[in-house]
Amino acid sequence: MDLIARSITHSYGGMVVLDDVSLTVRSGEIVAILGPSGCGKSTFLRILGGLEKPRGGRVFTQGEPPAKTLNPLTYVFQDFALIPWMSVEQNVMLPLEHHPMADAERRARVASALQRVNLTEFAAVYPRQLSGGMKQRASIARALAVEPAILLMDEPLSALDAQTRDLLMDDLIRLWNETRFTAVYVTHNLAEAVRLGHRVVVLSRRPGRIRDIVEIDLPHDQRAESSPDVIRAREILWSLIREEAITADREISDAG
Amino acid sequence: MPDNQAGGATPGAEVEVPFRASGFAPTRVPFVAGATFAAVLALWWISTKAGWVSEFALPRPDEVLSSFVEIASNGTLVKHLGASLQRLLIGWTLGALVGCAVGFGVGLSSLARSSALPLVSAIFPIPKIALLPLFILWLGIGEISKVATIAFGVFSPMVIATFGGVDSVDRGLIRMAQSFGVPYWTIVRRIVLPGAMPAILSGTRISASIAIILLTAAEMIGAQYGIGAMVLASGNLMQTDHLIAGVLVLSAMGFAVSQIIGMFERRLLRWR
């Protein structure tokens, strides 16, 4: 299933946060959206999955989702959004409950999702007992359980420490190689975008516009830090976002 | 730091850094609670025994105890306590259920918020006991007017606690559920209700103590049976021993209610 955004424009009050953003995400690719804080990239992601209504423009999907898909557009949130009074297993089960299916299948989906993120032995644990990395893996398991056609990931690693971030990045790459899911991955972290994205969309600061789209035509396992292609991609991206980052850093926050 | 190449040793004697972060962390010391009660009882007993306080104003603890045993054994206590508990239970349950329902309405629907919330805010500051005479005129002097006063008094704090709880539920969790297509009422049941539960339970605590105050006041205004009526009658007959026994029963009642709520809190909020 492809995801197509046409001329998305959005504003809060009088402030334009997205200005005429158009993007097509092809089935099976990971599109990283890179931009400084306040460029409207998270807003764009919320618009893509129907969690926010844009002032202008529309979002379409094209093609049928896979047969097992229960929720074609599925989010992974930065703050995990795990329900504190439900165990890991119950959290993963929640989005399956309202779908008519045999209890055994529901259980099987939960078990397989937990197994894919290596959380099987923590099924009965409450979120507060988990580390940040395990929380995000639980939330990824919840997303996997509905067999999404397109994953919408909103800075999924930003709330984690550097080492955990590396481990989870490896997990994401492994999962992608297993299932070749389609994903939009929003981040302000250049390294993450280069590591994961097949295309990196660079957004400018307010109003958010597409500055450039950088293709990284390299399999994930050939993206070593020292690889010349990776270094080049980083340099191109850094030159695109450097000035924006400096301006962003000097600005007094009014958007929160 | 012996490995530090940059700095040399500073001359002078070593001075230990003193610990400064003490205090401001009270804990519970064992047996002090019991000792405090014993001390108060002893002071009470000594001051009445020695005649510092007239026996008419404050009877001796053992007299209070014997009058408690008397009313407990001759069935007086059961009769009064039974009447009180029944009013408390019916009145509180009624007020709390309706209050919770309205609180959810105010928390979830714009229409209910715009219509019911101003009304509840207007009702809230009225001392509900002032409405008892009106309820007596409407509903008669019997049980219904007392139960209605209690229910009414419980209603508005329950509404306010519940809708505050509903408002405080993490919107991120609700958006998450919506992003997975979870139906509205499932979200209310599985996310909003448990998320609001801490606030609802603290509202339960507040409204239960309001209910006991209203119960006693209503029984003092017009009731044949009930702990409030018993306390008032003992006062009129200058039976201070009975009076104090009644007050202690009220204290025990409040304590028991708060223990029960505490039990629910531990059970329902285990995830915290």
**Contact indicator for A114, A92 with CB cutoff of 8 Å:** yes
Q: Work out whether strand A150-154 and strand A73-76 pair parallel, antiparallel, or are unpaired.
A: parallel
Q: Select from B190, B195, B271 the Cβ nearest to the Cβ of A94.
A: B190
Which of B175, B176, B266 to substitute to test the interface with A, most A CBs within 10 Å?
B176
Least confident interval from A240-254, B38-52, B128-142: A240-254
Q: Distance between CA atoms of B24 and B27, rounded to whole angstroms?
A: 10
pLDDT at B4: 53
Choose among A206, A209, A230: nearest CA to A218.
Answer: A230
How many residues does the structure list for chain A?
256
Fold topology of A2-65+151-250: Rossmann fold (3.40.50)
**Contact indicator for A201, A32 with CB cutoff of 8 Å:** yes
Q: Distance between CA atoms of B169 and B68, rounded to whole angstroms?
A: 47
In sequence order, what are the beta bridge partners of A187? A34
3-class state of residue A21 by DSSP: strand
Which residue type does A192 have? E
Cβ atoms < 10 Å from Cβ of B137: 10
pLDDT value at B181 more than 90: yes
Question: What ipTM does this complex have?
Answer: 0.89
Question: What is the per-residue pLDDT across B133-145, written as a single tens digit (0 to 9) for each?
Answer: 899 999 888 889 9
Q: A71, B271: Cβ pair inside 8 Å?
A: no
Domains, chain B, with CATH or none: 61-268 (1.10.3720.10)
Which residue type does A93 have? M
Question: What is the per-residue pLDDT across A166-202, written as a single tens digit (0 to 9) for each?
Answer: 888 988 998 898 888 899 999 988 888 888 889 999 9
**Contact indicator for A143, A75 with CB cutoff of 8 Å:** yes
Domain map (residue ranges) of chain A: 2-65+151-250, 78-148
With the C-alpha atoms ordered B21, B27, B29, B34, is the resulting torsion angle positive or negative?
positive
Which of A83, A90, A91 to substitute to test the interface with B, most B CBs within 10 Å?
A83
**Contact indicator for B218, B149 with CB cutoff of 8 Å:** yes
- Residue B98 buriedness (CB in 10 A; 0-12 / 13-18 / 19+): middle
Cβ atoms < 10 Å from Cβ of A31: 23
Question: What is the per-residue pLDDT across B94-133, written as a single tens digit (0 to 9) for each?
Answer: 999 999 999 999 999 999 999 999 999 999 899 988 899 8
The DSSP 8-state label assigned to residue A251 in this structure reads S
Per-residue pLDDT band at A220 (split at 50, 70, 90): confident
Q: A85, B194: Cβ pair inside 8 Å?
A: yes
